Structure 1
């Protein structure tokens, strides 16, 4: 039995026809030119239609959507989606009406984690903790083969745990979140602030003086080259990530810790901080038998997981 998986990002909507084993049979991607709920629903419908056409018109039984944001447990209402500028959008109901299919909406990390559990690095485990650091910081808890969603559906929001009282403002609107210091968008924002201050000749050289050329990789390169300001931002982010993840390992005692996302994939220094943090700060007993693995499915994890969650 095949289902539709949707990965809704801030710039694209991806759709895939996925079989019951987590194999992608056909897929399509459509750019978001507008971010209003009505416009995004139409883009998702276009991507879904293209994927179904590529799949030869296969019949699907349900649709799962992974979206970046805080999502109410049963209603499919997106409470907060910073990348889209949404608050309290009933995406599940809007899509079900448009597609004529039952739709399940989950956090994008929940979808990615479910994909990794069933078709990637989590296979064979029942207690898994998944952390992705990309534009933001997301995580998901799987205990005894079940998603831990919490009473309101927002359990596992590691990126919005507080690490600095009244600190930097996060995209969620609150102050001092981990994501505000270690998420990709906010690493770039801090590096641009450093560049504007004139205190980083190394960063200026690497970016050619253009703030728009700065990425988390640029920041790590400047830190590695000895730039003190870049090193401060980089090491603070790595320390915060490492300790936060280590504390979750202590609390949850997972059999497997899966890490991924573009920032950790392309910034080996930050990934090293995470590994060192887990070794230094997780309790000894929680580290016994812990396997740390890199995510295996890349950008497809959310598509696969969303589709499998639709069943």
Structure 2
């Protein structure tokens, strides 16, 4: 029987009915009218009902991928930076609201599972999946199994420390990789340069409007040779490339799958990550390594969440 997949972001909830082969039969997307746990649960329920109605078939269970650190046994979101949540029992709340079993996992864990079974990971059993979008996320598939760790938070590449006591991350801690290389934080750092008047090139690219700043804006200013922009960009690129290279050394995956808006649109940043792996990962760990892009794109998480629920 098909299952229901949910992709919970910071502004929308997406739902899809997915068959056993990873094919989406119908989907729906609903904006989060409010970000309280009860409000988000209702939004998810609306999206789920619309997707099931569109598919015209019953579903047996539901999987949810959320950008959060999640306790694997309870489905409690310990930290969900995009929603401003702490210790929210989302799994329990959704099970009660939807009236069916619900499994809640990290969004990158869901994406990795989707890529393994229906995307760029097919035919492999050891994957490292790294997405850089608004944040920095990663997940690990080892011997065709999702590596989730004792508490369910293994693979949190975005929250390794790169500058002890450094910039504050959305998780509340200091010096995380995500605080320097995540999309939201790249925008924040670029706006700081703009506000300080340190980057004429950024003023030119944005007409001085902070709302027009994107990670691509920073990359363009850095590539133009402007010192202030290049400093922020090079730091982020080097931290990210070194972190991914070290993960390859530790895990020895068969495939490294890269995705997310920053790595998709910032071509130079993606190139730096690939070059970093080729230069800094141990030679034996990268022998036979295939570096590829996400095949399912934005649908990887919703498909993976549904397949995990199955």
1:282 aligns with 281
Q: How does 1:213-224 map to 2 (within 5 A)?
A: 213-224=212-223
In 2, Cα distance between the equivalents of 1:266 and 1:19? 31
The CA RMSD measured in Å over matched residues stands at 0.6
Alpha-carbon shift at residue 205 of structure 1 (Å): 1.1
2:115 partner SS:
helix
Alpha-carbon shift at residue 128 of structure 1 (Å): 0.5
Question: TM-score w.r.t. structure 1 length?
Answer: 0.99
In 2, Cα distance between the equivalents of 1:30 and 1:249? 37
2:196 aligns with 197
Q: How does 1:136-175 map to 2 (within 5 A)?
A: 136-175=135-174
Return 229-238 or 152-161, whichever deviates more: 229-238
Question: TM-score w.r.t. structure 2 length?
Answer: 0.99
Alpha-carbon shift at residue 74 of structure 1 (Å): 1.1
In 2, Cα distance between the equivalents of 1:15 and 1:205? 40
Alpha-carbon shift at residue 217 of structure 1 (Å): 0.8
2:112 aligns with 113
Q: How does 1:252-267 map to 2 (within 5 A)?
A: 252-267=251-266
2:270 aligns with 271
1:87 aligns with 86
* 5+ residue gaps, structure 2: none
2:43 aligns with 43
In 1, Cα distance between the equivalents of 2:239 and 2:225? 20
- Are 1:6 and 2:6 matched, yes or no? yes
Alpha-carbon shift at residue 201 of structure 1 (Å): 0.5
Alpha-carbon shift at residue 165 of structure 1 (Å): 1.1
> 1:155-179: CA deviations, max 9, x gaps?
0000000000110000001000000
Alpha-carbon shift at residue 227 of structure 1 (Å): 1.6
Whether the 8 Å CA contact 1:131–1:260 is kept in 2: the answer is: yes
- Are 1:181 and 2:188 matched, yes or no? no
Whether the 8 Å CA contact 1:203–1:227 is kept in 2: the answer is: no
* 5+ residue gaps, structure 1: none
2:34 aligns with 34
Alpha-carbon shift at residue 148 of structure 1 (Å): 0.4
Alpha-carbon shift at residue 284 of structure 1 (Å): 0.5
2:305 aligns with 306
Runs of 4+ in structure 1 displaced over 2 angstroms? Answer: none
2:16 aligns with 16
2:225 partner SS:
coil
2:103 partner SS:
strand
